[in-house]
Amino acid sequence: MERREVALVDLLDRLLAGGVVITGDITLRIADVDLVRIDLNALISSVNAQVPSPFEELL
């Protein structure tokens, strides 16, 4: 198996070109009682002429 090194910049460029979805759940619990629950859903993608920014209207 051939090992190939990829620069971090190249990896980020590939990820942002296609888009990345990050999801996660965090629950703070003491004595089986849920105190805080945080749900994370994030879409990270690059913005260009073909994929305009959804926040352009707000500016």
How many separate domains does the chain show?
1
Mind listing the pLDDT tens digit for each residue in 2-21?
Answer: 788 878 888 888 777 777 88
Q: How distant, in Å, are the alpha carbons of 3, 7, 30, 55, 57 from that of 47?
A: 32, 22, 42, 11, 14
Q: What is the pLDDT of residue 51?
A: 67
Domain that holds residue 28: 1-47
Say which residue the tokens 């590939």 belong to: 14
Q: What is the pLDDT of residue 52?
A: 67
CA atoms of 54 and 34, how far apart (whole Å): 35
Is 38 within a domain?
yes
pTM of the shown model: 0.44
Is 58 within a domain?
no
Helix-strand-coil split of the chain, %, nearest 5: 25, 40, 35
